[in-house]
Amino acid sequence: MGTAELQLIKRIRVNLGIVIAGLAISGVTAFPIERELAWLVQSGSAFPRYMQEWLTTIYNAVKDTNQRYPFLSYGTDWLAFAHLVLAILFFGPARFPVKNIWVIQFGMIACVAIFPLAFIAGNIRGIPFFWQLIDCSFGLIGIIPLYISYKAARKLEQLYFERGIVIANI
């Protein structure tokens, strides 16, 4: 294995590691959402007033819902699970980037799809515009390491092609 190949694989793995970590953290932190919101509300002075008010509104809604209808939080548990499963999905291209480039492409499509979801569903559900922008930031931030991985995987594919390496055997 040549130096160029090793550098490309390392670049892919580091960037996909960031994606995996981000998805895993997002997933794990969705489970204790009421406690996390309570902490954010208590440390509210760190946020602008409009954000403090919105976080308090969210906390009160989650707390009230959990007291009256705790089974609804099961939906958030599934959201957390989905994030963890998606994190696992990216281990494939971390191991075999050229064969699994479609997973990287899928991730980039998902990042772009965050924007219409945030703006359409956010508007319908009465989510403040500033919060819709925060939601969109996950797509904007997430697509960066995915795009870097994608470009590196394409270069790796070209390198294999030039060397006559059959991708199916990698």
**What DSSP string describes 66-84?**
HHH-GGGGHHHHHHHHHHH
Cβ count within 10 A of residue 81: 13
The whole-angstrom separation of Cα 149 and Cα 142 is 11
pLDDT, tens digit, for every residue of 71-115?
999 999 999 999 999 999 999 999 999 999 999 999 999 999 999
Q: Which two tokens stand for residue 73?
A: 């939080």
pLDDT, tens digit, for every residue of 118-140?
999 999 999 999 999 999 999 99
10 pLDDT more than 60? yes
Q: Which two tokens stand for residue 17?
A: 């590691």
- Helix H or strand E segment including 118: helix 101-124
Find how far residue 6's CA is from the centre of its chain.
26
User: What is the value of pTM for the model shown?
Assistant: 0.91
Find how far residue 116's CA is from the centre of its chain.
16
DSSP 47: S
The whole-angstrom separation of Cα 146 and Cα 166 is 24
